[in-house]
Amino acid sequence: MRARHGWVLVSVVVAAAALVGGPVGAVASAAPAKNGPQGQGDKNGKGPSLNKSKQSNAKRTADYARTAKLAIADIQSYWADTFPQVYGAKYAAIPSNRIFAAHPGVKLPPCQGQKLTYKDAEENAFYCFKSNFVAYDDVKLFPDLFQNFGDFSIALVFAHEWGHAIQDRAGNAQQPSILKELQADCFAGSWTRHVADGDSRKLKLRGGSLDSALAAYLKKFRDAPGSSPYDPQAHGDAFDRVGAFEDGYGNGAEKCATYFDSPPLTTEQQFATRSDASSGGNLPADEVIPGTVDLLNNFYSQVEPGYTPLSIDDVFKYDSSGSKDQLPKCGGSVPPRSHIKNRVFYCIDDGYIAFDEPYVQHVYDDIGDFGVTTLFANTWATYVQIKQGFPGAADNTDAAVFAADCYSGGFAAAMWNGLLSSDTLGGQVSLSSGDLDETVAALLDYVSARGISQSADATFKLFGAFRDGFLDGYQSCSQYRPS
């Protein structure tokens, strides 16, 4: 987050209705990238490059070979059926001899006349426009993905690269890089939904696969915070890339095909100042929670008639592993440590919010300030729901939980549009570069820290609700209220 004094527009057009209508903004319109390799990243203009893997010495493995073979066959089959429906033409498959597992000594074909070696594919996976082939690093990248994110991450990479092949066949090679990348993510989501629905004869989607996709986008496939959406090799931040994947998963390839005519909102932005960049867009730790309290009160005072603010005096800290006498009482008794460990919660009986200080400190240190704000926003939403009489809020029903994430998305949209202020922070406050990626990271971390089943794909579902509120505004969250 960053405090702003005065009314400054940062790549957004602020409308009076934006607070309840979702974020509004200008989509990047960069010059098209070179019509060469396209994939998960870029490397000196010669091909896509991921962040260097911590497991760069991982040995080549055949463990994912069967997954790769089945995924490629199923993706080809999916597009044989889907391409005619979306584009009205027959799909031309990528020949099997045009799919290259790259390693030292392998002979890669030229990409539009440009000679390639394994170095061009190292830590990469890409599709070459016009030359019509896919190459992937079979020494470092794929073993690392398999080891750290599971076999679905291998299929996800292929589904994304086939998205570029679809763009090639649809005549969209010259579109801006960031839109091509987001559309390829969207196409990957549409294929994934086809598998999840049981329409694949070759693959089944296991529980946890969707959350592993979010983790892969966050840790491997996003642009670094502070990147420009106008860069000719821009790929998008994690929030936008995960959002595009979710869009395809929920709405199908037909929706993805509209991305060039009706571009999705992109939230990637550069740091506004040098100090913002040097801090990574983070406020000092001691300002985050007081500032968040101000911002949440400011938001709900605007969108909820009769809203009763909570103050910083209603927020308490504790150490779930510390002495019993400092643990919070709720309804006259101390909750079991297992219930309050790694937790930010609202005590309905006594009307306060409490947080496990070591866990929240970890979120700030390892994720960032807006990760902390996201967790408090979700808890604050529960407070608001109790006051609203939202069905199931006291019992944490699915509807209430998803609505709370949606409320948090509406709150983030108001910040994106520069409509909130904090006395603690000295005035108007807006989102900084990377803040929305911190939301994705915080949701993943919180689900894991709370011990929620890794097979539930909980974060993917929570993110979808957050994104609904962010794109369509707070008032749209009524869709989650049981009738």
By DSSP bridging, strand 99-102 and strand 133-137 are parallel
Q: Tell me what pLDDT residue 454 has.
A: 66
* Residue 95 in tokens: 């020949």
175 and 298 assigned to the same domain: no
Q: Which residue among 241, 256, 271 closes a domain? A: 256
Per the listing, tokens 């070759």 go with: 202
Q: Is residue 17 one of the residues assigned to a domain?
A: no
pLDDT values of the chain reduced to their tens digit, one per residue, 483 residues = 765 422 222 222 222 223 443 443 322 222 223 445 555 433 333 333 223 333 333 444 567 898 999 999 999 999 999 999 999 999 999 999 999 999 999 999 999 999 999 999 999 999 999 999 999 999 999 999 998 898 899 999 999 999 999 999 999 999 999 999 999 999 999 999 999 999 998 899 888 889 888 888 888 887 666 677 776 676 778 899 999 999 999 999 999 999 999 999 988 887 788 877 787 888 999 999 999 999 999 999 999 999 999 999 999 999 999 999 999 999 999 999 999 999 999 999 999 999 999 999 999 999 999 999 999 999 999 999 999 999 999 999 999 999 999 999 999 999 999 999 999 999 999 999 889 999 999 999 999 888 776 677 889 999 999 999 999 999 999 999 998
Instruction: Kindly report the number of other CB atoms within 10 A of residue 318's CB atom.
Output: 18
Q: Tell me what pLDDT residue 1 has.
A: 72
Q: Tell me what pLDDT residue 54 has.
A: 37
313 and 388 assigned to the same domain: yes
Instruction: Kindly report the number of other CB atoms within 10 A of residue 23's CB atom.
Output: 25
141 and 219 assigned to the same domain: yes
* Residue 27 in tokens: 């989509």
3 state DSSP class of 159:
helix
Q: Is residue 11 one of the residues assigned to a domain?
A: no
Q: Tell me what pLDDT residue 61 has.
A: 55
Q: Tell me what pLDDT residue 53 has.
A: 35
By DSSP bridging, strand 352-356 and strand 125-128 are unpaired
328 and 399 assigned to the same domain: yes
Task: Give start and end residues of each alpha helix (H) in 305-397.
Answer: 337-340, 357-366, 369-388
By DSSP bridging, strand 315-318 and strand 344-347 are unpaired
Per the listing, tokens 């990528």 go with: 94
Q: Tell me what pLDDT residue 8 has.
A: 22
3 state DSSP class of 114:
strand
Alpha-carbon radius of gyration of the chain? 23
> What does the H/E/C string look like for 426-465?
CEEEECCCCHHHHHHHHHHHHHHHCCCCCCCCHHHHHHHH
Q: Is residue 19 one of the residues assigned to a domain?
A: no
* d(C-alpha 104, C-alpha 118), whole Å: 6
* d(C-alpha 468, C-alpha 412), whole Å: 11
Do 164 and 129 form a contact (C-beta atoms < 8 A)?
Answer: yes
3 state DSSP class of 422:
strand
* d(C-alpha 97, C-alpha 279), whole Å: 48
Q: Is residue 77 one of the residues assigned to a domain?
A: yes
* Residue 181 in tokens: 């990348």
Nearest to 241 by CA among 262, 265, 260: 265
Do 48 and 54 form a contact (C-beta atoms < 8 A)?
Answer: no
Total domains in the chain come to: 2
314 and 251 assigned to the same domain: no
**Virtual torsion, Cα 137, 140, 143, 147, nearest 10 deg:** -140
Q: Is residue 249 one of the residues assigned to a domain?
A: yes
Do 379 and 7 form a contact (C-beta atoms < 8 A)?
Answer: no
Domain limits at 143? 37-256
284 and 252 assigned to the same domain: no
* d(C-alpha 337, C-alpha 385), whole Å: 25
* Residue 418 in tokens: 């520069």
Strand partners, 347: 352
456 and 398 assigned to the same domain: yes
41 and 153 assigned to the same domain: yes
Query: DSSP for 291-320?
Result: HHHHHHHHHHHHHSTT-----GGGEEEE-T
Handedness of CA 140, 146, 148, 153 (dihedral sign): positive
Q: Tell me what pLDDT residue 309 has.
A: 97
Q: Is residue 15 one of the residues assigned to a domain?
A: no
For residue 454, count CB atoms less than 10 angstroms from its CB and return exposed for 0-12, middle for 13-18, buried for 19 or more: middle
Do 443 and 374 form a contact (C-beta atoms < 8 A)?
Answer: yes
244 and 337 assigned to the same domain: no
Q: Is residue 287 one of the residues assigned to a domain?
A: yes
197 and 66 assigned to the same domain: yes
Per the listing, tokens 């987001």 go with: 182
Q: Is residue 461 one of the residues assigned to a domain?
A: yes
Q: Tell me what pLDDT residue 20 has.
A: 41
Q: Which residue among 221, 256, 291 closes a domain? A: 256
298 and 250 assigned to the same domain: no
123 and 206 assigned to the same domain: yes
